[in-house]
Each structure stands twice: as C-alpha cells, then as structure tokens.
Amino acid sequence: MRLRVKSLWSPDLSPPSEGGPRDAHDFDVFLQMAIEEEGGSEGHEVFNARVCSPSALSRSSSGEFVNALVLRRFDWMEIHGRLNKLLLHASSCPDWAAAIQKLAPFIQHADSD
C-alpha cells in the first residue's frame, strides 16, 4: 500500500493551506492532512499532527508527553516532504487499518479516540 499526502492544512493559519505562523522560527501549529492511497480508490483518511519549532517545544510543561514534528523553520514543502517520507513506513501494510496502526506513534488518525 503506497500512501501519499493529498493535502495539508491548519485551522490555526490563514489561509489554512498556504498561510504561515506569525514567526516562522518560533511556532506551534496544529496540522491536519488528507492521506490517500496511490492508485487506490477515490477517498482519503484524515490525520492530525503537531508541528513546532525547537523553541516552542522547549516551552512544553515538565512531564508532558509530546508528539511533534520539530522543524527549525516553518515550511509547507518541508512538512509535506517529511510526511511523505513517514508514509513510506506504511508501504508494507495490506490495508488502511494496518497503516493507521503503523502511523499511530507519529500522527493521529482523526477518527481515533
């Protein structure tokens, strides 16, 4: 199963798919992504992730579990590329259920509790 990022957006940014944080070097952004199967049927699954700078990550509370993509500078192309590399880890999965489980330590399936 080959997966790819179909689209990326953040309700925190304006416009959601192209905007950037106020400071491209100090940010903490909630990101959503539609992921589709290459050559598969129409449709996609939605996942969530946190993207932040090292400075924003350093402000996390002590004892807090943090799961985030950490980048020195906010860049949509780099985020897209990093996510597509992550999706390669699910290439051996036979179906969506297995892929969602494989990706769960890194990005959260929107339908997960």
Helix (H, G, I), strand (E, B) or coil at 4: strand
Helices (H), the chain: 54-58, 76-87, 96-103
Confidence (pLDDT) at 61: 80
Q: What is the total count of domains within the chain? A: 1
Tokens linked to 10: 């953040």
8-62, pLDDT tens digit by residue? 999 999 999 999 999 999 999 999 999 999 876 678 999 999 999 999 999 888 7
Confidence (pLDDT) at 67: 84
* Domain that residue 85 falls in: 3-109
Confidence (pLDDT) at 5: 94
Beta pairing partners, 8: 33
pLDDT exceeds cutoff 70 at 112: no
